[in-house]
Amino acid sequence: MPGFCAVRVLLTGATGFVGARVAEALVDGGDHVVAVVRAGSDAERLSALRGLRLVEGELLREGGMAEAVRVAPDVCIHCAWYTEPGKYLSSPDNVGLAHGTARFAAALAEAGCRRFVGVGTCFEYDTEAGYLSEKTRLAPAHVYSAAKVATYLLVRELTAGTAMSFAWARLFYLYGPHEHPNRLVPSVIGALLRGEEARVTPGGQVRDFLHVDDAAAALCAIARSEVTDAVNVGSGEPVTVATLVTKIGALLGREDLLRLGAREYSPGDPMFVCADNRKLRAIGWARKYTLDDGLAHTIRTGHQQGAPNAVQP
Structural domain includes residue 217 = yes
Question: Residue 261: which domain range?
Answer: 176-208+237-274+289-305
* Predicted pLDDT at 260: 98
| Cα angle value 219/169/44 (rounded, 5°) | 50
Structural domain includes residue 1 = no
* Predicted pLDDT at 6: 59
Same domain membership, residue 194 and residue 142: no
CA 32 to centroid of chain Cα atoms: 21
Same domain membership, residue 300 and residue 153: no
Domain count along the chain: 2
Structural domain includes residue 87 = yes
Which alpha helices (DSSP H) does 177-211 contain, by range?
184-193
pLDDT tens over the chain, length 313 residues: 444 455 899 999 999 999 999 999 999 999 999 998 887 777 777 877 888 998 887 777 666 788 888 889 999 999 999 999 999 999 999 999 999 999 999 999 999 999 999 999 999 999 999 899 999 999 999 999 999 999 999 999 999 999 999 999 999 999 999 999 999 999 999 999 999 999 999 999 999 999 999 999 999 999 999 999 999 999 999 999 999 999 999 999 999 999 999 999 999 899 999 999 999 999 999 999 999 999 999 999 975 554 433 322 2
Structural domain includes residue 158 = yes
Same domain membership, residue 111 and residue 248: no
Same domain membership, residue 241 and residue 158: no
Q: What are the residues facing 56 on neighbouring strands?
A: 37
Cβ neighbours around 39 below 10 Å, total: 8
Structural domain includes residue 279 = no
The model carries a pTM of 0.93
Same domain membership, residue 204 and residue 218: no
Same domain membership, residue 198 and residue 132: no
Q: Could you give the CA distance from residue 43 to residue 55 in angstroms, rounded to a whole number?
A: 11
**Which residues, including other chains, have CB under 8 Å from residue 207's CB and lie 6 or more apart?**
172, 173, 238, 239, 240, 241, 244, 273, 274
Structural domain includes residue 86 = yes
Structural domain includes residue 160 = yes
Among residues 200, 218, 233, the one where a domain terminates is 233
Q: What is the CATH number of the domain that holds 201?
A: 3.90.25.10
Same domain membership, residue 164 and residue 36: yes
* Predicted pLDDT at 310: 31
Same domain membership, residue 132 and residue 89: yes
Structural domain includes residue 310 = no
Q: Could you give the CA distance from residue 152 to residue 166 in angstroms, rounded to a whole number?
A: 10
Same domain membership, residue 216 and residue 109: yes
Same domain membership, residue 104 and residue 35: yes
Same domain membership, residue 262 and residue 146: no
**φ and ψ at residue 211, rounded to 5 degrees:** -65, 140
Chain length of the chain = 313
* Predicted pLDDT at 305: 52
Beta carbons of 244 and 198 less than 8 angstroms apart: no
Q: What is the CATH number of the domain that holds 76?
A: 3.40.50.720
Same domain membership, residue 123 and residue 267: no
